Amino acid sequence: MALKIVKGSIDRMFDKNLQDLVRGIRNHKEDEAKYISTCIDEIKQELKQDNIAVKANAVCKLTYLQMLGYDVSWAAFNIVEVMSSSKFTYKRIGYLAASQCFHEGTDVIMLTTNQIRKDLSSPNQYDTGVALTGLSCFVTPDLARDLANDIMTLMSHTKPYIRKKAVLIMYKVFLKYPESLRPAFPRLKEKLEDPDPGVQSAAVNVICELARRNPKNYLSLAPLFFKLMTSSTNNWVLIKIIKLFGALTPLEPRLGKKLIEPLTNLIHSTSAMSLLYECVNTVIAVLISLSSGMPNHSASIQLCVQKLRILIEDSDQNLKYLGLLAMSKILKTHPKSVQSHKDLILQCLDDKDESIRLRALDLLYGMVSKKNLMEIVKKLMLHVDKAEGTTYRDELLTKIIDICSQSNFQYITNFEWYISILVELTRLEGTRHGHLIASQMLDVAIRVKAIRGFAVAQMATLLDNAHLLTGNTQRNGICEVLYAAAWICGEFSEHLEDPMQTLEAMLRPKVATLPGHIQAVYVQNAAKLFATVLRKHDGETESQAAQETSQLLIDRLPLFVQSANLEVQERASCILQLVKYIQKLQQKNVEVAEEVTALFAGELNPVAPKAQKKVPIPEGLDLDAWINEPPSGSESEDEKPKAVFAKEEPKHSRSRHTEVDEKELARRREVRKQEQASNPFYIKASPSSQKVYDAPGVEHIPVVQIDLSVPLKVPGMPMSDQYLKLEEERRQKEKAERKKKEKKKKREKRGKERKADSGPESEEDITPAHQVDIVTEEMPENALPSDDDDKDPNDPHKALDIDLDKPLADSDKLPVRTHRPEVLKSPAEDRDGESVPQETKKKSGKEKKKDKEKDRKRSKEEKKKKKKPKEVEEELLESQPEEAVQSEETKEAAAPPTSTSAEQEVCVLMCVCLQEVTAPSSSAAAVDTSSAAAPESEPDEPKDTEPEDTKSSKHKKKKQKKEKEEKEKKKKKRHHHHHQHHGDAGGEDSVQNGTVEEEEPLPPMSNYSLLAENSYIKMVYDIQGNHQDESKVVVSVIFENKSDSFLKAMEFNVLDSLNSKLQRPEGAGAHDSLTVPFQLPPGVSNEARFVFSVQSIVMPQKLKGTLTFIVKSDESSTHEKLDFKLHFTCTSYLITTPCYSDAYAKLLESGDLKGSSLRLEGINMPFHHLLARICFHHHFSVVERIDSCASMYSRSIQGHHVCLLVKTSDQTVSIDAKCDEPSLLGNVLDEIKQTFSKC
Amino acid sequence: MIKAILIFNNHGKPRLIRFYQYFAEDMQQQIIRETFHLVSKRDDNVCNFLEGGSLIGGSDYKLIYRHYATLYFVFCVDSSESELGILDLIQVFVETLDKCFENVCELDLIFHMDKVHYILQEVVMGGMVLETNMNEIVAQVELQNRMEKSEASDQ
């Protein structure tokens, strides 16, 4: 104790180090938690000391405790302290602790930025290494942004040890800060050819990770990887590359063809099993991607299957497992090659290893045929009985059901057999899959009409023996089956032999112990059975039996009326009252059977699970539009001073509503009661029934506990095995018969009852035992086919879907530590004249736009996933104006020479690689090179721009040929519509959008127009509306400081008109100005947005305004002002809205639109430029273009439709326009005219 | 990507845990328990791949493990890693441990968790394979240990 008081380094010898802590914990096995808590107290003391060695020791111990599950985040700050020690020993401890317990939520992380930067640039490579390792575990978006540049520099470090770490960590940086991908990518690519194999391997690793998520962006690297694959000897690198190719081949089949040979060579030559396996896997991927086109690759398939068989037969369980795994991939496209190995796979089912059995099960799924289904399932049923663990048994159960039900029960020839299999499966104890069996029963009973009689009989037996299923032990899952049984018995009760008995079974007291939703079905179907019983006894004069049934229901239903489950209670009390009423009628000898049956008349048709989703949205229904005016939501709007146009209507209606509530409701209740009283069809609550509710309490219900723990064979159940025998006999008999018949007739129509009879020839010989009519599921009329693969929208990799082939723009820069990141040029350049500032202005505006665009693109991409093929076209239209913007960008952004040359090199390589495959490809690739910097290219969205992409290299097209063909078909269909109002539609081969596979690039365009400028400042602006708010537009103004001085205190003010008002913050007066939320250092520009509310949009408007600001230079500061006029054109109220051509046709046919037209003479530009201009400047989208004629569409923020038909001949352009608002149209046309008069 | 590396003994006691994705401490322990539960009931002569760990990842993830005497080395990886490759990597890692500790046994891992971490850091970084050449790994580890020693003797 006394020693503890002494401070100093000697003391440290008495501190516990990590080993002491571990030893201590091992010596305190009984009271470990207590011991550790004293240790933590000690650690806290140690952390308070100034000595860094003591602290490091404490942190090291904490790391150990963290592993044991103790939260050590409270020491985060101390960890940072230890990290910043100058000694490597301690630094390493600190970084280790940080990597174990820091995460994005750790707030001290932001303190580490500078320390990490220091360590990264440390002369000691191990300091750098430790920092990189640590950072790789806890990098946050902020750290990634701040350190990306430093790490990128390290990628070219002299030491390979640092280089490889820097390369690897870049992946983490990309994930957290996707903007860094483009600027860092060229260097990353260089590292693929680093002299050090470790660095090379790291680069391959990173690019493979990236490409796995967004393969299409990395296709251009294929030649490089191809080279690496043929030259590298490092198996790790080879495996990664081969895996990468596996991801790329689906996108580029020709690459696959090229790959097969070297991969086959590797398969033959390599001794490494891991490499062999990956080669086989990629060959399979290639074969899948080629599956349709290439018949002569059967040798490769044979090779793969053969190698896999060797793997599966290997005694090494790992190889066996992987062999089966790969085999299942082949199965999808080449089932026949796999089927020949059925023996082997069935053998694997007996393997002691569960993983292998599961894999073999997967394979079985694809191997069944009509012939062997029963046999395979029998084998599986044996396994079910033997299976020890419930998980494996459940897996078997789901597999059996999957196998049988696949492709619409395609392989089932005997549904009686299937039903009895399902019934046998209900004997499984403790399965979680009761609902699965139940849904199969329902599915079969509903869709296979012929089986209903049999199914109902089986279900009735099940119901009769329900107590066996619900035996009190594990009734969690399987009692779901009763749900199906009860429903089937009820719905198809006409097939029941003895409905009375089933009814009795369904109303047993024990039923009350079932889950609520099942009871509810019981009650409802009891009523159906009741109806059936009544009908059976219809006509009989002595309706004794019928009356007994009513009595039975009246006796038993009260039990359910008391159920705690609302659904059960409600149904039971409803039906109880109904039965009582019926009983009364029966006593009067009234024939009721008809009426009661009518309650359940009609047949329920099966509805496809996705039917609801596929109901097309009716024409003209805008789900985003308000049905009623939205109540003014925010406080500020309510208090908006003196709204001239919008009076206090919303308030009014609201208050009226509350008044209605009280009085009106009371009155209405009265009226309703009276109405009910006089309505003969309304069953009134009788006082007697009320009593029944109270009479028997739950305690009085005798609960019979039948406990059978032995799994049982339900009596009277046919065993599925019988069917197998029967089936065999039947088939043999049939065969014999057929032989006879065949002598007479060659072939009789057979298998006609089966709709999808796609089995192989030999299988067609097996006729189903029953005349089975598989009812197909109902779908809504004109449902759209869709393949929605919902991808996780939160996937971080989505952000990395960035086009890397585009040359770097100025905006693609990693943030470097500067004080004013927005400075675009030095003040000295300033005086160089007009043109320079203009350039920069545009750029900064565009930067913003680009960001927006990125967001939009991202969201669009998400949408795209869900899109139906038809809508892809809509996409095409949408992309049009964007493209214009982009093209401008690409042109202006001078590509750094390195990247372009690299680009070309890649393209050439690609060319070399693919040349031999098809002749035309070389020219295509050549086009590719030249177009690398072509403004029109938009490789970012190859899908979107595909039809009009000037360069769209042919290989890309080929791949999408199919898609296109489909599209074309659709297009043609649509043409029919179109022609009706479009008399002069010429060629059939129209192209969607403004630009065809054409000619010259578009000239640069900008939407920003000059607002005002003087010697200090220049303002440009753009006006945008959106559909969400029909009375608001956003004015984006870019302010650019042209002077050498600092501009501050900028205030923006506009004189409101009656029609248009600047939206000011709450409490501000109508004439107050708005403060621009930034200051401008010399040479800097920035954008501010102002929201305006507008009432009428049919006329253009000009608003006068003033900008005041203070110019502050070193010597003085002056107050300046600049007047401007904001011009709200009618165009600015239009929003680019895509429109289907058929919707467009309807719109025109509707006759609501008024026409007007315009002629422009002497227009000397290509037609697609003209269209692009209209799209870009006037927010239209092209609906359809045929030769030199195009229809275009746009919509105003207030929902006015504007349709244009643009035709050109020689230098004359005529525009026929239609709109539901003539003055708006007139103004828009004037504006279009102006646009073209300028050029 | 490797999502986690777990080393625990035959009783499920963790000897080293390294998550490359953030999980809170209690979740980490739960994952260790679940993984141990899955792995420990498997015979030694069955395959070393395991699907169905519900806590980490999902269907894309696999557990790849090796059992050495008293220790389980479990790697949780996604489909971008080669299964056999990772098995080799575990072997490389264990052999490296063997070289660095000279006949490594569970006790070495128990008392020198930090050192094991430092070795692992030279093999896997941020969930990606950094180095597979054992000599290179050992050389880097030793160089760093030497630095540590020289710093200690400076005092």
Higher local confidence (pLDDT), A1144 or A676: A1144
What's the mean pLDDT in A584-588?
85
CATH number of domain containing A1127: 2.60.40.1230
At residue A48, does pLDDT exceed 80? yes
User: In chain A, what residues touch B25 (CB-CB under 8 Å)?
Assistant: 66, 69-71
User: In chain A, what residues touch B131 (CB-CB under 8 Å)?
Assistant: 164, 198
Query: Are the Cβ atoms of A318 and B83 closer than 8 angstroms?
Result: yes
| pLDDT value for A1158 | 82
User: For residue B37, which of B55, B57, B16, B17 has the smallest C-alpha distance?
Assistant: B55
Structure tokens of A693? 């509710």
> CA of B98 to nearest chain A CA: how many angstroms apart?
20
pLDDT grade, residue A343 (50/70/90)? confident
Residues A103, A227 within the same domain: no
Domain stop point among A1132, A1161, A1194: A1132
Helix (H) or strand (E) run with residue A275 in it: helix A273-290
Structure tokens of A1034? 């956003």
Nearest CA in chain A to B120: A133
pTM above 0.95, yes or no: no
Query: Are the Cβ atoms of B144 and A88 closer than 8 angstroms?
Result: yes
At residue A556, does pLDDT exceed 90? no
Residues A1112, A1176 within the same domain: no
Q: Of the given ranges (A241-255, A794-808, A818-832), which has the lowest mean pLDDT?
A: A818-832
CA A1058, chain centre distance (Å): 46
Shortest CB distance from A318 goes to which of B87, B132, B147? Answer: B87
* Helices A160-176 + A197-213 axis angle, to 10: 10
> CA of B117 to nearest chain A CA: how many angstroms apart?
8
Q: pLDDT of A260-301, one tens digit each? A: 888 888 888 888 888 989 998 888 888 887 765 555 677 788
User: In chain A, what residues touch B125 (CB-CB under 8 Å)?
Assistant: 132-133, 136, 165, 168-169
Helix, strand, coil distribution of chain B in percent, nearest 5: 45, 25, 30
Distance CA A507, CA A490 (A): 13
| pLDDT value for A712 | 37
| pLDDT value for B76 | 93
Q: pLDDT of A1151-1191, one tens digit each? A: 777 888 888 887 778 888 888 888 888 888 888 887 788 88
Distance CA A240, CA B1 (A): 11
At A379, which amino acid appears?
K
Query: Are the Cβ atoms of A60 and B114 closer than 8 angstroms?
Result: yes
What's the mean pLDDT in A806-831?
53
Higher local confidence (pLDDT), A416 or A857: A416
| Residue the block writes with tokens 């072509």 | A934
User: For residue A533, which of A558, A501, A573 has the smallest C-alpha distance?
Assistant: A501
At residue A316, does pLDDT exceed 70? yes
Query: Are the Cβ atoms of B117 and A96 closer than 8 angstroms?
Result: yes
| pLDDT value for B92 | 94
Query: Are the Cβ atoms of B131 and A198 closer than 8 angstroms?
Result: yes
Residues A1110, A1141 within the same domain: no
Size of interface A-B (CB pairs under 8 A): 145
Query: Are the Cβ atoms of B47 and A161 closer than 8 angstroms?
Result: no
Helix (H, G, I), strand (E, B) or coil at B18: strand
Residues A462, A594 within the same domain: yes
Nearest CA in chain A to B126: A136
What's the mean pLDDT in A1192-1200?
84
Q: pLDDT of A669-687, one tens digit each? A: 666 666 665 554 544 444 4
Query: Are the Cβ atoms of B85 and A236 closer than 8 angstroms?
Result: yes
pLDDT grade, residue A216 (50/70/90)? confident
Nearest CA in chain A to B144: A126
At residue A546, does pLDDT exceed 70? yes
Within a domain: A480: yes
- Laid out side by side, the sheet with B49-51 consists of B14-19, B2-9, B71-77, B62-68, B49-51
What's the mean pLDDT in A387-392?
73
Q: pLDDT of A1065-1096, one tens digit each? A: 777 777 788 888 788 888 888 888 888 888 88
| pLDDT value for A949 | 43
CB A324 within 8 A of CB A345: yes
Shortest CB distance from A168 goes to which of B18, B26, B126? Answer: B126
Residues A104, A237 within the same domain: no
Percentage of chain B surpassing pLDDT 90?
Answer: 61
Within a domain: A240: yes
Within a domain: A636: no
| Residue the block writes with tokens 């890692």 | B93
Residues A1184, A1127 within the same domain: no
Residues A1113, A1206 within the same domain: no
Mean pLDDT over all residues of chain A? 73
Within a domain: A950: no
At residue A207, does pLDDT exceed 60? yes
| pLDDT value for A203 | 93
Residues A1125, A1165 within the same domain: no
Query: Are the Cβ atoms of A69 and B131 closer than 8 angstroms?
Result: no
| pLDDT value for A61 | 92
**Domain range for A1184:** 1136-1237
Residues A133, A6 within the same domain: yes
Helix (H, G, I), strand (E, B) or coil at B10: coil
At residue A943, does pLDDT exceed 50? no
Per DSSP, A642 falls in state T
What's the mean pLDDT in A1-18?
55
Shortest CB distance from B126 goes to which of A136, A274, A277? Answer: A136
Give the CA angle between residues A501, A503, A504 to the nearest 5°: 65
Query: Are the Cβ atoms of B84 and A104 closer than 8 angstroms?
Result: no
Structure tokens of A213? 């998520």
pLDDT grade, residue A1207 (50/70/90)? confident
Query: Are the Cβ atoms of B28 and A69 closer than 8 angstroms?
Result: yes
Residues A1110, A1187 within the same domain: no
| pLDDT value for A541 | 60
Query: If you compute the radius of gyration of chain A from its CA atoms, what whole number of angstroms results?
Result: 39
> CA of A142 to nearest chain B CA: how many angstroms apart?
17
At residue A764, does pLDDT exceed 60? no
Residues A1068, A1157 within the same domain: no
Query: Are the Cβ atoms of B25 and A70 closer than 8 angstroms?
Result: yes
Distance CA A697, CA A1059 (A): 72
Tell the burial category of B34 from Cβ atoms under 10 Å away from its Cβ (0-12, 13-18, 19+).
Answer: middle
| pLDDT value for A511 | 81
pLDDT grade, residue A762 (50/70/90)? very low
pLDDT grade, residue A792 (50/70/90)? low
The residue among B42, B47, B93 with the most chain A CBs within 10 A of its CB, best to mutate, is B47
At residue A1, does pLDDT exceed 60? no
> CA of B89 to nearest chain A CA: how many angstroms apart?
10
At residue A1225, does pLDDT exceed 90? no
Nearest CA in chain B to A389: B41
User: In chain A, what residues touch B50 (CB-CB under 8 Å)?
Assistant: 355
3-state secondary structure A869-928: HHHHHHHHHHHHHHHHHHHHHHHHCCCCHHHHHHHHHHHHHHHHHHHCCCHHHHHHHHHH
Q: Of the given ranges (A840-854, A1119-1133, A1200-1214), which has the lowest mean pLDDT?
A: A840-854
Distance CA A566, CA A553 (A): 19
Within a domain: A898: no
What residues contact residue A215 under an 8 Å CB cut-off, 6+ apart? A247, A248, A250, A251
The domain ranges of chain B are 2-154
| pLDDT value for B2 | 92
| pLDDT value for A1072 | 81
The count of domains in chain A is: 5
Q: pLDDT of A610-649, one tens digit each? A: 777 777 777 778 878 788 877 765 544 444 444 444 444 4
Residues A443, A541 within the same domain: yes
| pLDDT value for A346 | 82
Shortest CB distance from B128 goes to which of A67, A168, A243? Answer: A168
> CA of B39 to nearest chain A CA: how many angstroms apart?
12
Domain stop point among A538, A565, A599: A599
| pLDDT value for A340 | 81
> CA of B45 to nearest chain A CA: how many angstroms apart?
7
Q: Of the given ranges (A106-110, A236-240, A427-431, A851-855), which has the lowest mean pLDDT?
A: A851-855
What residues contact residue A317 under an 8 Å CB cut-off, 6+ apart? A353, A356, B45, B46, B47, B48
Question: Residue B122's CB: how many other CB atoms inside 10 A?
Answer: 22
| pLDDT value for A991 | 39
Q: Of the given ranges (A3-17, A156-170, A171-185), which has the lowest mean pLDDT?
A: A3-17
Domain stop point among A599, A632, A664: A599
Number of helices (H) and strands (E) in chain A: give both, helices first.
49, 15
Distance CA A984, CA A74 (A): 77
Higher local confidence (pLDDT), A948 or A1066: A1066
CB A467 within 8 A of CB A703: no
At residue A849, does pLDDT exceed 80? no
Query: Are the Cβ atoms of B128 and A209 closer than 8 angstroms?
Result: yes
Nearest CA in chain B to A281: B82
> CA of A369 to nearest chain B CA: how many angstroms apart?
28
At residue B79, does pLDDT exceed 70? yes
In words, the CATH class of domain B2-154 is: alpha beta
> CA of B105 to nearest chain A CA: how many angstroms apart?
16
User: In chain B, what residues touch A318 (CB-CB under 8 Å)?
Assistant: 47-49, 83-84, 87
CATH number of domain containing A1211: 3.30.310.10
Q: Where is mean pLDDT largest: A4-8, A144-148, A740-744?
A: A144-148
User: In chain B, what residues touch A201 (CB-CB under 8 Å)?
Assistant: 129, 132
At residue A52, does pLDDT exceed 50? yes
Higher local confidence (pLDDT), A1120 or A1066: A1120
Within a domain: A397: no
At residue A484, does pLDDT exceed 60? yes
The residue among A67, A154, A392 with the most chain B CBs within 10 A of its CB, best to mutate, is A67
At residue A903, does pLDDT exceed 90? no
At residue A658, does pLDDT exceed 70? no
Within a domain: A838: no
What's the mean pLDDT in A746-770?
45
| pLDDT value for A922 | 40
Within a domain: A534: yes
